[in-house]
Amino acid sequence: MNACVDLRSDTVTRPTAAMYEAMQRAPVGDDTYGEDPTVNALQARIAGMLGFEAAVFVSSGTQANLCAVLAHCGRGDEYIVGQMAHCYRWEAGGAAMFGGVQPQPLDHADDGTLPLAAIAEAIKPDNEHFAVTRLLALENTLGGRCLPDAYLSAATDLARQHGLSTHLDGARLFNAATAGDATSPEAGARRIAGHFDSVSVCFSKGLGAPVGSALCGSAAFIARARRVRKAAGGAMRQAGVLAAAALHALDHHVERLAEDHRLAKLLYEGVCDRPGVRAEAPQTNIVFLDLADRGQDTAHALQKHLQEKGIRVSMLYGRLRLVTHRDVDEAGVLSALDALREFLKR
């Protein structure tokens, strides 16, 4: 166990020795010319895995979502998105800033979905006074919650009935797939992705690569997305060293996500019965602790207490967020539980 147990996010994962070796061995070329064999292999691999014609490797999930929205929408168009979705709340307004595309945010239901009636009502009529609604963007997982497959089917069917394209922010797609009932995470990811016209996938969260995401879609869509990537300064050169890490993650780190989910459940079960603690059983690798019943400043006091014990957690909308990942083992989780219980005895 490391001296510091870092539960702030699964973005803090570091490459394994085997991943570093794969990066060092990777054949490279100029990706902007389409000549990096490792990047090309990654793009073909993730597109085929998820059932799409093509994919493009980008530097981040934010860039993947930006490329997606701007490839689906033109200036003055609109996309429907959740209030808490990453591509609305956490990406610096990029679609509006760079593409002149306005978001139409909707409130989430308690389970993280966007109510179908609200989606239908938000679609603008064909009238010169309104922006043209072009896209429905969903996120799975959202705050660690998995959107049900039946909901994904209904929501994307509704969008298509109104002529909208559909995009999934699948930064943690393989976590959602691991939590589902498919025969394998790969099969689950393909089933989820099959509802959408485009999907972004992050390699640098639970999968443990140092950098990078992929955006998948039709060949024509990816050609448009590549133009956005270039304009955003995202076209890379010898990027095969990064793509090799992502390929290694797909080969070796997908199946182990179930262990992260198990440890998140262990965290939850260790504190959920403590007085003044409100928490939902985690579906994947993210646990939220709401301590509002113990006083307004309790969450910050607990965060400070944990920091002093070598346990790092994040604060989000007044709740503590604890995220399990491959760099925190069971001993680290038990250490975090000891520190949590010590504070919650007070």
Domain boundaries, the chain: 14-252, 256-344
> How large is the average pLDDT for residues 55-70?
99
- Residue 7 main-chain phi, psi, to 5 deg: -110, 20
Residue 2: band (very low, low, confident or very high) from pLDDT cuts 50, 70, 90: very low
Pairing verdict, β 77-82 and 132-139: parallel
Q: Residue 273, SS3?
A: coil
Average pLDDT over residues 48-68: 99
CATH 3.90.1150.10 fits 256-344, yes or no: yes
pLDDT for 46 beyond 50: yes
Q: How far is CA 322 from the centre of its chain?
A: 15
Q: What is the pLDDT of residues 244-259, one digit of tens each?
A: 999 999 999 999 999 9
| Assigned token pair, 50 | 């998820």
Query: Of 262, 267, 328, 306, which Cα lies nearest the Cα of 11?
Result: 328
pTM of the model: 0.96
Structure-token match 């604060």, residue found: 315
3-state secondary structure 151-174: HHHHHHHHHHHCCCEEEEEECCHH
Residue the block writes with tokens 């910050």: 300
The answer for residues whose C-beta is within 8 angstroms of residue 29's C-beta and 6 or more apart is 35, 36, 37, 238, 240
Fold of the domain built from segment(s) 14-252:
Aspartate Aminotransferase; domain 2 (3.40.640)
- Cβ 177 vs Cβ 149: under 8 Å: no
Rounded alpha-carbon distances, angstroms, from residue 249 to 23, 101, 213, 234, 317 = 11, 34, 12, 22, 31
What's residue 295's pLDDT? 87
pLDDT tens, 77-136? 999 999 999 999 999 999 999 999 999 999 999 999 999 999 999 999 999 999 999 999
Is it the case that residue 287 has pLDDT exceeding 80? yes
Provide mean pLDDT across the span 10-30.
98
Q: What does the pLDDT average to over 136-152?
A: 98
Residue 30 has pLDDT above 50, yes or no: yes
User: Which DSSP helix (H) or strand (E) runs through 47?
Assistant: helix 37-50
β partners of residue 142: 145
Q: 184-243: per-residue pLDDT in tens?
A: 999 999 999 999 999 999 999 999 999 999 999 999 999 999 999 999 999 999 999 999
What are the pLDDT digits (tens) for 290-335? Answer: 999 998 899 999 999 999 999 999 999 999 999 999 999 999 999 9
> Measuring CA to CA, which residue among 10, 14, 11, 16 is closest to residue 248?
16
pLDDT at 346 over 90: no
CB 64 within 8 A of CB 214: yes
The model's confidence at residue 1, banded by pLDDT at 50, 70 and 90, is very low
Chain centroid, CA 30 distance in Å: 28
